[in-house]
Structure formats: structure tokens, C-alpha cells
Amino acid sequence: MLGAAPETHGSIAAAVDAYRAHGLFKRWPITYIATHGDGTLRRKIAMAGTAAREFAALLAEHRRVAVHVHVSSGAGFWREAAFMGAAFAAGCPVALQLHGSGYVASSRLFLEHAAIVCVPCEAMRTWVRSVARNAAVALVPPPVALAAPEVAEKPNLVLFLGRLDATKGIYDLLDAIAAVRATVPDVRLVCAGDGDRVGVTRYAERLEIADAVKFTGWVGPSGKRALLEHAAVFALPSYDEALPLGLLEAMSAGIPVVATKVGGIPEVVVDGASGLLVAPGDKANLQRALARLLCDRTLAARMGAAARETARVRAAPERALAALEDVYDALGVSGSEERRPRLQVPLRKAA
């Protein structure tokens, strides 16, 4: 398995940590190679070099191994492309697991040559098939077990978990929070994530809501639990998503969601039942949705309970791991116990 080093920011490290915590590495003969991580450019180059040597040694030692590669879009995809190319050349079956959104059609070669492509939602499955019509695609939801204790009286706190970037709708959210203050004067927004903090801070200052906005930077599991414990509403007015891990974590904590109708979000958030959905860029309806949930706590509690149940059914670790273990079965990997493959996937090729 190839992916991010532990404690690296992003969904890949979080997913791998959850796989490890719930016994995947005990049940299957997995050798994990960290291909990238946070830190200085020098550290990243050194890590990539070490990973290349370890992977080459592994291919030389074993005649044939199954290779499970975690990738993100952009530079992250092409960073892993060299490892996938080596695996294809060695005749190894590759399980290519896509995290996040933003992939481009130029990835078609790798999608078609992978023995199986793992995606988190039906929207991503549709996209993969539109680019690589004959690709074998399996739905493997992200594992989510991050819940938070119930708090009787939550403050009027809106939580945003994600990168501080215009494509995530953070500027739309600031506009909406400024409008919400007319009806909910004590509303607060906490933004947890990396990105353009300076630009977002300046925009909040122009809107005269800097006193109502707090930036925490990236937070780990314990910090995230503390934020989820006190959040009344989770907001993600993004313009492009697959199935965001932060969204599922908020739902698993019983927090009602206000999000946009993009990617796989409508697959898990039922408008009016487990949250409220708006169109990307619709700041007026975003403001109304936030105000509605902050002012009607009975409605918010009902939607939060529905969100928690959806997350349990859709992304509980045991379900997510079972889907991935079906992939391993289909690739011909032998685990520590007998398993009956449940995936009916035509694995046409090893490379």
C-alpha cells in the first residue's frame, strides 16, 4: 500500500490511520510505504527517494504483488504515477483509490490500466466511467468513526472543515455569516484547515465580522472532536467535491449540515432530512439555511440525528473496510482468514 505518511494533512492519511486502527493491517499482509508527507522540500524529496528504493526492493523480492495506491488530484496524482508505472511494468495488479475531486481526463491511461479503481461515491464512479469506459470501478466509502459527545446547549457556532480556498466556498460562507448576524447576533464561525488564511482574514475584516471568525489551521483527530462537540451547524458551500471526509465526520457527530449540491454530497445529505442543500454560489439561500438551523434547534436536532444514522450506515469503519477487503479478495490477495469475495468485478488484466 502506497500513501501519505502518518499525521500528514489530508484525507489519505486519515483513511490509512482508520484502516490501521480497525485491524486491516492485522488481517492482511500489507507492507505500507509512505511516498509523501508534510514538511520542507528537502524532507519531501528524501521521503520520495526512500519510498522509491523500498518499492523497487519489494518488486525485486516478490515475483508478483498487488499494489494499492492512494492518490489525490493534481500534483499528488502524478507523484504516484511513477510507482503505478513501475507496477504496471512488473505485471502487478493495481488498486487505484481516488481521494477528493478535481481529477482530469489525462489520468485516463492509469484508470484504464488499473485492475480496479476505488471511488468514494457514485458521482466519482460516473466520472471515471466517462473518462475510462472500460475501467473496473468499486465503491469504497471513506471510514469514519469520529463522533463527539452530546452537548445540551450548543453555542451558535458554525464549523467549516476544509481548505481555505474559493473553490470550497469559504468567501460565500463569510458573506452568509455577515448576513446571518442580523438575526443571530452572536453567531460565530470556526474555520479549520490550511490555505489562504491571509486572504480570508482580510475578507472577513472588510465584511466587519473578523471578531466572529476564528481560524485554527489544520487540526488532528482530538482537536476535531473538540470542534465537533460544540458546533451547532456544519457548513461546506463548495463548488467541487467528491465525498468530503469532514462532511461525514460532522454527520457522524450528529451535526446538521448545510452544503452544496455537488459531487457525492447529495448521495449522503437528504435535503430537509439530514441537512439543507443549496446551489453553489447561492449566498442568499446559504444564509437562510444557516439562520434556519441556528434559530430552530428542534429542527437542527432532528436533522443531526438523521445525519448521524446516515454516516453510520454509509461510512462506518466496518462497512468501509469490508468494501476494501472485497477488493483485496478480487485481486487474489490472501488474508489471515477465509473470505468469500462479494465484488462481482471483471478484473480483466493485471496491468
> Which three cell numbers, joined as nine digits, stand for 349?
488484466
> Which three cell numbers, joined as nine digits, stand for 261?
449540491
Alpha carbon distance 89, 305 (integer Å)? 49
What residue numbers bound the domain in which 268 lies? 157-314
Distances (CA, A) of 31 to 54, 100, 152, 164, 277: 10, 24, 45, 34, 41
Residues 130 and 238 grouped into a single domain: no
Residues 137 and 178 grouped into a single domain: no
Q: Does any domain span residue 295?
A: yes
Residues 169 and 292 grouped into a single domain: yes
Q: Does any domain span residue 9?
A: yes
Q: Does any domain span residue 44?
A: yes
The pTM assigned to this predicted structure is: 0.89
Residue with cell 481526463: 105
Q: Does any domain span residue 85?
A: yes
Residues 321 and 176 grouped into a single domain: no
Residues 120 and 189 grouped into a single domain: no
Residues 162 and 24 grouped into a single domain: no
Burial 15-38 (b: 16+ CB within 10 A, else e): bbbbbeebebeeebebeebbbbbb
Q: Does any domain span residue 132?
A: yes
Q: Does any domain span residue 121?
A: yes
What's the confidence (pLDDT) of residue 152? 66
Count the neighbouring beta carbons within 10 Å of the beta carbon of residue 165. Answer: 17
Q: Does any domain span residue 232?
A: yes
What's the confidence (pLDDT) of residue 350? 34
Read out DSSP for 50-64?
HHHHHHHHHHHHSS-
What is the number of domains present in the chain?
Answer: 2
What's the confidence (pLDDT) of residue 264? 95
Residue with cell 494499492: 68
Alpha carbon distance 58, 62 (integer Å)? 6
Longest CA span, the chain: 67
Residues 302 and 208 grouped into a single domain: yes
Say which CATH number the domain at 168 has: 3.40.50.2000
DSSP 189: E
List the one residue out of 267, 265, 269, 266 whose CA is nearest residue 256: 269
Say which CATH number the domain at 19 has: 3.40.50
Residues 163 and 94 grouped into a single domain: no
List the one residue out of 189, 237, 233 whose CA is nearest residue 215: 189
What's the confidence (pLDDT) of residue 251? 95
What is the three-class DSSP state of 235?
strand
pLDDT along the chain (351 residues), means of 10: 92 92 93 95 94 95 91 92 95 95 93 96 96 95 74 88 95 98 96 95 97 93 89 97 93 95 96 97 98 96 94 89 94 70 41 30
* Total H helices, total E strands in the chain: 14, 12
Residues 179 and 308 grouped into a single domain: yes
Residues 294 and 161 grouped into a single domain: yes
Residues 113 and 177 grouped into a single domain: no
Alpha carbon distance 283, 334 (integer Å)? 51
Q: Does any domain span residue 99?
A: yes
Alpha carbon distance 189, 309 (integer Å)? 25
What's the confidence (pLDDT) of residue 146? 59
Residues 171 and 310 grouped into a single domain: yes
